[in-house]
Amino acid sequence: MSILVDKDSRIIVQGITGSEGSFHATQCHEYGGNVVGGVTPGKGGETALDAGLPVFDSCHEARERTGANVSLIFVPAPFAADAVMEAAAAGIELIVCITEGIPVRDMLRATAFVKKIGARLIGPNCPGLLTPDEAKVGIMPGNIATKGSVGVISKSGTLTYEAAHQLAAAGLGQSTCIGIGGDPIIGTDMSELLALFEADDDTEAMLMIGEIGGQMEIHAAEYVRDHARKPVFGFIAGRTAPPGRRMGHAGAIISGADESAAAKMKVLRACGVHVAESPAEIGAMIADHLG
């Protein structure tokens, strides 16, 4: 099993006719064959990709004509929040926004709308998600993942890839890999995804990769302490970051003592999470604990 996406997912790509959207839509379609069309206003009736997928003027039309339940967004930042809300209003159940640089004010409005509608948003500014051998929604390289039993949640795209590689080398593999994004405002946090993995019969363990800044990892640790029955592993990036300076992601800035890497690692361990000191240790640590 998996969470959020599988072989039955039906994906549309908002911005499919742009260079980035076209490239990654092709990769996603070649991986799982799940892409059923795209949306570019004003280009309805055209086709996209070598597969000749239909292009629609709106998400509403795309969902009505294709039965899509997932939307992958490659829309420029000034229009991306509206694209997210359009997908939610059309009844798309899972929205994955890759776009970076969306204004925080726009995302506050979009995330509130998505929650009100009852859809789920992954991102923005994220690599998306991947269920090995079933579906790829985003920009993760499909060749790094292998089917297995570890659910991966990460703020860092690069570390997601590294963790997946190490898990594959250790013979464990992944049930689903999810890059949640590193912006201050995102659609789905670690605690929500831990709960989904906890309920998935074929996920035997969870890995969460966090970073400095914010309280998300603290809240996730509290979820583990209070609810998790499966083993949870973690890593926090940014141990050498100076306070008050943003490092990489817009959300990666330490504004309080409990938001440093060392402080978060301490809380994670206190709540029962097995924490790696270095990203190079992630695969071996999980393999050792799972036997």
Output the pLDDT for position 245: 53
For the chain, the C-alpha Rg in angstroms (whole number) is: 18
**Mean pLDDT (the chain, rounded):** 93
CA-closest candidate to residue 122, choices 134, 133, 110: 110
Domains of the chain: 11-122 (3.40.50.720), 141-290 (3.40.50.261)
Q: Is 0.95 topped by the overall pTM?
A: no
Report CA-CA distances (Å) from 99 to 41, 81, 123, 183: 18, 9, 8, 11
Report how far residue 184's alpha carbon sits from residue 90's, in angstroms, rounded to the nearest whole number. 26
Output the pLDDT for position 213: 85
Note the pLDDT tens digit of each residue in 55-109.
999 999 999 999 999 999 999 999 999 999 999 999 999 999 999 999 999 999 9
Note the pLDDT tens digit of each residue in 15-27.
999 999 999 999 9
Query: ∠ CA(159), CA(164), CA(168), 5° rounding?
Result: 150
Output the pLDDT for position 156: 86
Q: Cβ(2)–Cβ(176) under 8 Å? A: yes
Q: Cβ(70)–Cβ(122) under 8 Å? A: no
Report CA-CA distances (Å) from 29 to 14, 26, 120, 208: 14, 5, 22, 27
Residues whose CB is less than 8 angstroms from the CB of residue 193 and which lie 6 or more positions away in sequence, other chains included: 3, 151, 153, 178, 180
Report how far residue 63's alpha carbon sits from residue 87's, in angstroms, rounded to the nearest whole number. 9
| Residues in the chain with pLDDT values less than 50 | 250-254
Output the pLDDT for position 214: 87
Output the pLDDT for position 216: 94
Is 289 part of the annotated catalytic residue set? no
Residue 143 has a CB neighbour count (10 Å cut-off) of: 10
Q: Cβ(71)–Cβ(56) under 8 Å? A: no
Residue 221, SS3 per DSSP: helix
* Bond into 124 cis (ω within 30): yes
Residues whose CB is less than 8 angstroms from the CB of residue 43 and which lie 6 or more positions away in sequence, other chains included: 17, 55, 57
> Exactly one of 24, 29, 60, 249 is catalytic; which is it?
249
